[in-house]
Amino acid sequence: MLGGLSAPGGGCAALDDAEWVKELNLNLLPAVRLDRALVPAMVKRGAGVVIHVTSIQHELPLPESTTAYAAAKAALTTYSKSLSKEVTPKSMRVVGFIRISQ
């Protein structure tokens, strides 16, 4: 799965809808798509661990350079928590791993 920073610097004013969509497609939606493909089999088996790699940027964004990336990683963190609440009763775990350095 890919991830990374592709949006230009310059804060919110520099980001058009296409940049926002690109960041979400790069840093949130691959995890959602992969989970939709793999989690049902894990639930059926009654075991599994999902690991999502997020970033400290979800708590400490750099407005001049990482606004859209940070928002996508915050969305991934929230999605991970929601998925965890859904699948934990089914003997699964979801772990959000925070990557500190970029």
Beta strands in 1-102 (DSSP E): 48-55, 92-99
Q: Which two tokens stand for residue 6?
A: 């592709």
69 is catalytic: yes
Catalytic residue from among 5, 69, 80, 92: 69
- Listed in sequence order, the residues at least 6 apart from 30 whose beta carbon sits closer than 8 Å to its beta carbon are 1, 2, 3
Return the active site residues.
69
